[in-house]
Amino acid sequence: MDIADFVIGLVSGLIGFGISYATFSRNKTKDDKSDGKQDGIMLTEIGYIKANTDEIKNEQKEQRKVNADHTERLAKVEASAKQAHLRIDRMEGREYPTAHHGHEE
In the chain, where are the structural domains located? 2-100
Give me the pLDDT at residue 51, please. Answer: 93
Average pLDDT, rounded, for the chain: 83
| C-alpha distance from residue 2 to each of 5, 6, 12, 18 (Å) | 5, 6, 15, 24
Average pLDDT estimate for 11-21: 85
pLDDT for 105 equals 43
User: pLDDT band at 3, cuts 50/70/90?
Assistant: confident
Report pLDDT digits (tens) over 50-93: 999 999 999 999 999 999 999 999 999 999 999 999 998 888 88
Task: Select from 87, 83, 64, 65 the least CA-distant residue to 75.
Answer: 83
Q: Report the candidate in 33, 105, 47 with the shortest Cα–Cα distance to residue 95.
A: 105
